[in-house]
Amino acid sequence: MKTYRYRLYPTEEQESLMSRTFGCVRLVYNHLLDFRTKAYKRRKETADYYKCNEFLMKLKEVFPFLKDVNSQSLQSANRNLDAAFRNFFGKPGKVGYPKFKKRNGRQSFQCPQNVKADHTTQSVYLPRIGWVPCVFHRRFEGRIKTVTVTQEPSGRYFASISAETPPELPKPERKVESADDVIGIDVGITTYAVCSDNTEYENPRHLSKYERRMKRLQKSVSRKKKGSKNRKKAGRKLARCHEKIADKRKDNAEKISADIAGKNQAAVAVEDLNIKGMTRNHHLAKSINDASWGYFTMRLKTKCERNGMRFVKVPRFFASSQTCSACGYKNPEVKDLSVRNWICPVCGMEHDRDRTASINIQKKGYELSVPVDGGEFKPVETVTVDDRAKAPKKHTVDEAGIVLELPQEAPCL
């Protein structure tokens, strides 16, 4: 299953039909969410998917205009709500309680059946809407399963086509024979990414380039009367500015990740950064969010796996910038981010902070990716800050090559 995203250019009549569908799907979703919430609060009952289906039939009697839109789109709203509740109960603490959908902002509806695509005429057929002009910048193959139509806050329309494609044969995994077969990557703000093979990628700083324009557009929105058409127009211009920044940010991450994953190495090592914790620094939060390291590492991992490369995450508590890549001495003074260059007091080697970090990440990535005792490679799971408190502490004793793990609360013998 693969999903392809294409730009739609609907006519005014089709825009009106889509707007009606967006509104009906939003109304059904919000009423079903209210129904499930009140059923539990008042009667301690769990309204499952089937009870919500019965309630949906009653909604169609109360609101006859719901029959004017595609019924499958309304059913999809019920399925999406049910999935949201399953995620809420299945991942406690990680997924929040489902929220009501707003009229303003990003809108969407799904068409799981009776959808067609024509590459020749560059159009997509949607039930109750018709053939909508579409730009197929790349072809897709396979049977269409679902089409999700989305309207961005700026007013742009997109169609995300999920198609059943034949499974791709995985490329043979490359062997890691030495540290040179691993690329170490150190991400940063001054330089976006520094690789152990001396490749550097500059940080384009898209947000800073559009910051003045964003402030001007925000002032323009705040000066307009609430609820007026002029305020909506100004809001769309501001939303388009935000989308431009996001598009450029994603494009930069896609290009860099594709370039790294296309190299002739066997593995890629990246530091497992605590981005959420780093953004608590108010002086760097804006720059860190603008760099979008999380999206970059996610796309890099996908492309590495596609090309048969191992993707290794180095533990976040590994002092990559403070450790001398020649002798292994750890310099605590380099903790200060203002120290960009330093000399090792032990061996006298000169270090560039980012370059040294990439080499140390390369070496650590090689250690984590080499099979132990001739066995198969197993990815190393790093422990996050939140998980450290939950994980039981262990004392390790190494005697004659035998490793014994004793729990901290072992009974006295």
Reduce the DSSP state of residue 193 to 3 states and report it: strand
CA distance 407 to 15: 64
Angle at 105 between CA 103 and CA 107, to 5 degrees: 75
Q: Are strands 182-187 and 267-271 parallel, antiparallel or unpaired?
A: parallel
Nearest to 358 by CA among 178, 199, 205: 199
Cβ atoms < 10 Å from Cβ of 27:
17
The amino acid present at 278, given as its one-letter code, is M
Tokens of 117: 């695509």
Residues in the chain: 413
Look up 186 and say whether it is catalytic: yes
**Choosing from 354, 373, 381, 409, which is the catalytic residue?**
354
Calculate the alpha carbon distances from 166 to 141, 323, 327, 336 in Å.
Answer: 9, 47, 50, 51
CA distance 413 to 171: 52
DSSP element (H, E) containing 35: helix 12-43
What DSSP assignment string belongs to 333-397? GGGSTT--EEE-TTT--EEEHHHHHHHHHHHHHHHHHSPSTT----PPPPPPHHHHHHSPPEEEE
CA distance 45 to 298: 40
CA distance 189 to 203: 7
**Choosing from 271, 290, 367, 381, which is the catalytic residue?**
271
**Choosing from 186, 254, 290, 336, which is the catalytic residue?**
186
Look up 247 and say whether it is catalytic: no
Tokens of 115: 């959808």
Residues recognised as catalytic: 186, 271, 354
